[in-house]
């Protein structure tokens, strides 16, 4: 490995980057636009569930139950209807997600101390929203039921029982349960991985398609120096992207930052090197730029989006897919960046992730170098 030769490659690549301002602007603009757009728009919090109410009873007693739904911030009552068909139509046309039906004999049952049934209809297509909505609806009914029961027993026996066991919920790290607090840090990992692949996956495939790779290989420059020099040139762009994303996360989205900025920069650099080496490896594998594009997108965007635990919890996946996630560098970085942002944890907790990234990065570097050498022969 010779520093001077590596620098020559670095300068050549840097010149390529500067001479293609359109790509450079996109490389710097992409994370900014995507992070702003997605951080603002993506939201998995479920509230204001559009709901229709069908009150067949129309009594003062049933209205009390309706008021409990109206008073909850989780439901947005879109209106009242007088048959089932209207609820069905609403769900079919995606106007509402939930319908509450109060039966005709509701007030009679309650007055007679009997059991009354409240029907809750949910559009289950989006199962996540549906489960959360069901949870809210059931707990609204349960709480009101307990209140009814306590009042009834009080009337009959002069005794008002308390709730025997109560749940005391404490949410750590993200007390307000805002999804942006975990989506934004995770997005940073995904966006950086994609940018890295976009920037580097064509770099060698292009030289190959143009025929300049042969010229490059006929010089005394060694394969390792080509890979390293190219990586370092793109690294500068990557560091700028990382800085932009972290600043946007902290200052635009107010994601709490509880950990060490130093540790984040350090691990960010390891992750970037990993991502860039990966792109270069892809580039050495592809025969044409089209193939490199396909392989690059397939191996960067999808895995880092889906298999990094960024949104979809890894522990819910089948074991075979879970095993694959260990090969996704974004998985480790998403873990690290969320840990540093939200939990404020340090090296003592994160060292396995950091170690793995470092091992991954050097392995990919060696593989890419070997592929280049094989092309020589």
Partner 1 sequence: MWGRIGVIVRKEFSQLFRSPRTRTLLFVPPLIQLIVFGYAVNLDVDNVHMGWLDGDQTPASRTLLADFQGSGRFVVVALPRTEADIQKLLDGGGVKCVVRVLPGFARDIQRGRTTAVQVLVDGTNSNTASLVSAYATQIVAAYAGSVASRETLPQVMARSASNQRISLKAPSLNSSTRVWFNPDLKSRNYFVPGVIANIIMVVTVMLTAMAIVREKEIGTLEQLIVTPIRPIELMIGKLLPAALVGLMDVAMISVGAQLIFHVPFRGSAALLFACSALFLLTSLGVGLFVSTIAQTQQQAMMSSTLFAAPTFMLSGFAFPIHNMPVPVQYFTYLNPNRYFVEILRSIFLKGAGINILWPDMAALLVYGLAIMLLSSWRFRKRLD
Residues belonging to the chain:
377
Q: How far is the CB of 164 from partner 1 (least distance, A)?
A: 4
Separation between Cα atoms, residue 126 and residue 119, nearest integer Å: 20
Q: How far is the CB of 91 from partner 1 (least distance, A)?
A: 6
Which residue stretch of 6-14, 129-137, 223-231, 366-374 sits at the interface with partner 1 (rule: CB under 8 A)? 129-137
List the interface residues with partner 1, window 299-358 (CB under 8 A).
302-303, 306-307, 311-313, 315-318, 320-321, 335, 338-339, 342-343, 345, 349
211 binds partner 1 (CB under 8 A): no
Among 42, 236, 323, 355, binds partner 1 (CB under 8 A): 42
Separation between Cα atoms, residue 100 and residue 84, nearest integer Å: 10
List the interface residues with partner 1, window 1-40 (CB under 8 A).
20, 22-23, 26-27, 29-30, 33-34, 37-38, 40
Q: How far is the CB of 25 from partner 1 (least distance, A)?
A: 9
List phi, psi (to 5°) of 100.
-115, 125
Which residue stretch of 107-115, 227-235, 251-259, 365-373 sits at the interface with partner 1 (rule: CB under 8 A)? 107-115
Q: How far is the CB of 74 from partner 1 (least distance, A)?
A: 10
List the interface residues with partner 1, window 84-103 (CB under 8 A).
91-94, 97
Residue 1, SS3?
A: coil
Element (H, E) at 344: none
Give whole-number Cα distances, 354 to 146, 195, 313, 324, 328, in Å: 51, 21, 20, 18, 13
List the interface residues with partner 1, window 216-255 (CB under 8 A).
none
Helix axes 261-285, 347-376, angle to 10 degrees: 20
- Of 184 and 372, the one with the shorter C-beta distance to partner 1 is 184
Number of Cα atoms under 13 Å in the Cβ half of residue 56: 18
Q: What tokens were used for 297?
A: 């997108």
Which residue stretch of 108-116, 212-220, 238-246, 251-259 sits at the interface with partner 1 (rule: CB under 8 A)? 108-116
Among 75, 100, 39, 2, CA closest to 251: 39
- Of 5 and 299, the one with the shorter C-beta distance to partner 1 is 299
Among 9, 52, 110, 272, binds partner 1 (CB under 8 A): 110
Separation between Cα atoms, residue 334 and residue 331, nearest integer Å: 5
List the interface residues with partner 1, window 48-67 (CB under 8 A).
48, 50, 65
Helix axes 203-210, 223-247, angle to 10 degrees: 140
Q: Give the contact letters, 136-175, x = binds to partner 1 (CB under 8 A), - = no.
A: xxxx-xx-xx--xxxxxx--xxxx-xxxxxxxxxxxxxxx
Give whole-number Cα distances, 46 to 4, 131, 288, in Å: 57, 10, 45
């Amino acid at each position: 490995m010779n520093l001077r030769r590596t620098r020559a490659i670095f300068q050549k690549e840097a010149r390529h980057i500067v001479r293609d301002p359109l790509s450079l602007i996109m490389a710097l603009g992409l994370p900014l636009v995507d992070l702003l757009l997605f951080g603002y728009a993506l939201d998995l919090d479920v509230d204001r569930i559009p709901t229709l109410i069908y009150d067949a009873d129309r009594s003062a007693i049933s209205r009390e139950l309706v008021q409990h739904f109206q008073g909850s911030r989780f439901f947005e009552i879109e209106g009242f209807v007088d048959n089932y068909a209207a609820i069905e139509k609403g769900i079919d046309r995606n106007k509402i997600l939930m319908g509450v039906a109060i039966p005709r004999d509701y007030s009679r049952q309650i007055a007679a101390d009997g059991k009354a049934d409240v029907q809750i209809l949910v559009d289950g297509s989006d199962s996540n929203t549906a489960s959360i909505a069901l949870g809210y609806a059931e707990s609204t009914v349960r709480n009101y039921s307990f209140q009814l029961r306590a009042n009834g027993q009080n009337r009959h026996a002069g005794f008002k029982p308390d709730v025997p066991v109560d749940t005391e919920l404490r949410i750590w790290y993200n007390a307000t349960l805002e999804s942006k607090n975990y989506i934004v840090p995770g997005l940073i990992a995904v966006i950086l991985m994609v940018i890295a692949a976009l920037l580097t996956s064509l770099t060698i495939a292009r030289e190959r398609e143009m025929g300049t790779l042969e010229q490059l290989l006929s010089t005394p420059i060694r394969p390792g120096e080509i890979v390293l020099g190219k990586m370092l040139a793109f690294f500068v762009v990557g560091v700028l992207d990382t800085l932009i994303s972290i600043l946007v996360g902290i200052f635009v989205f107010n994601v709490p930052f509880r950990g060490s900025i130093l540790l984040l920069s350090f691990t960010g650099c390891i992750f970037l090197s990993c991502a860039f080496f990966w792109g270069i490896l892809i580039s050495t594998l592809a025969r044409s730029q089209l193939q490199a594009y396909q392989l690059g997108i397939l191996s960067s965007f999808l895995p880092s989006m889906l298999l990094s635990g960024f949104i979809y919890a890894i522990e819910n996946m089948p074991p075979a897919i879970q095993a694959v996630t260990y090969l996704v560098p974004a998985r480790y970085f998403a873990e690290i960046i969320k840990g540093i942002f939200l939990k404020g944890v340090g090296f003592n907790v994160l060292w396995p992730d950091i170690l793995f990234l470092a091992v991954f990065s050097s392995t990919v570097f060696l593989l890419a170098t070997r592929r280049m050498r094989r092309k020589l022969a």
